[in-house]
Amino acid sequence: MNKKNKPWIFTANCTSVIGTVDVVTRFMAQSGNYIDEIHSFDDRESNRFFIRIEFQPNSASFNEAQFTAGFSPKAAEFDMQWQLTKPEHRPRVAILVSKYDHCLNDLLYRHRTGQLNIDIPVIISNHPDLEHLAQWHGIPYYHLPITKETKPQQEAEVMKLLKEYDTELLVLARYMQVLSAEMCNQLDGWAINIHHSLLPGFKGARPYHQAWEKGVKMVGATAHYVNNDLDEGPIIAQGIQSVGHAQYPEDLISKGQDIERVTLFNAVRHHIEKRVFINGSRTVVFSN
């Protein structure tokens, strides 16, 4: 089996019943597909079954339509929701950012070096500060200022650009604005946000300074899907690191930014590789 070929990805979920793994793996074998990687999970709380498979067709004449026609009747027996992703698929990912550049820089670098198999067709910001980064990478940059009075119009323009550039994922790479409930509803399930995770929780201005004044011993970051609950959407990835008494607010900020960029990268990678399933208010994440 040639491991250099990019795999097809099969994902599915349904009610937890006997035979779910068998119906998928048996069909893969009968249709001549070699499984490179397989993960499955039964959630006893939600009574849902989740599965992700990477596979290589043994036959050069593999046909997606034929696969669909053959598997659809079997999936229907389990009321299974499923998806097949082509090896050459590159998700179109838009980035929303304000003034902080660490997450944007990291995503652009990983995109440029092939660590993220994505296209970035557009970057949108409420400030002009990071336009030079977009220009250097040859990516269109839209500066859309926002005030309390112009928020509905600005968000409508953002959504218009996402549609115009045919994006399937939006990444909030430290976008320092609270999205409206209407926009959150439109982005539900296909927008990822990143923010600090400090315990106890510190909100508002200068959270790392507040944390330092309380003598925190841990700094971290959380990447999650956007929904109507501010910073409480289904969590995809988290990172954490210890800090000590000899570190000052600027040290906490530096450590926090490092964790934020790595955590966001992991969340985006897991999403585009179809490793994440939204399961109510939680997620199932099949790490590689």
Reported as a single tens digit per residue, the pLDDT across 49-103 is: 999 999 999 988 899 999 999 999 999 999 999 999 999 999 999 999 999 999 9
DSSP 176: -
Give me the half-sphere count of Cα atoms (radius 13 Å) on the Cβ side of residue 150: 8
Lowest mean pLDDT among 140-149, 193-202, 238-247: 193-202
At 264 the pLDDT is 98
Kindly indicate the confidence band of residue 222, based on its pLDDT and cuts at 50, 70 and 90. very high
* Whole-angstrom distance, CA of residue 50 vs CA of residue 44: 12
The reported pLDDT for the residue numbered 60 is: 84
202 pLDDT band, cuts 50/70/90, is: confident
* pLDDT value at 1 more than 60: no
Neighbours of 170 (CB within 10 A): 23
pLDDT at 198 over 80: no
What pLDDT is attached to residue 148?
92
Give exposure, 95-116, as e/b (b: 16+ Cβ within 10 Å): bbbbebbbbbebbbebbeeeeb
Nearest by Cα to 225 from 257, 254, 184: 184
Q: Is pLDDT at 229 greater than 90 in this prediction?
A: no
- The answer to whether 243 touches 218, Cβ cutoff 8 Å, is yes
Read off the pLDDT band of 4 (50, 70, 90): low
Which residue would you say has higher pLDDT here, 8 or 61?
A: 8
Distance CA(212)–CA(250), nearest Å, equals 10
Rounded to the nearest integer, the mean pLDDT of the chain is 94
Q: Residue type for 200, please?
A: P
Question: How much is the pTM?
Answer: 0.93
| Token pair belonging to 35 | 């499984």
The predicted pLDDT at position 3 comes to 54
pLDDT at 2 over 60: no
Instruction: Give the domains, in start order, of the chain with CATH numbers.
Output: 8-85 (3.30.70.260), 93-285 (3.40.50.170)
Least Cα distance to 158 among 145, 173, 149, 148 occurs for 145
pLDDT for 132 equals 96
- Residues with catalytic annotation? 231
Percent of the chain with pLDDT over 70: 98
User: What is the mean pLDDT of the segment spanning 143-168?
Assistant: 97
The SS3 assignment for 141 reads: strand
Phi, psi of 141 (to 5 degrees): -125, 125
| Mean pLDDT computed over 201-228 | 88
Please answer whether residues 275 and 238 qualify as being in contact, where contact means their C-beta atoms are separated by less than 8 angstroms.
no
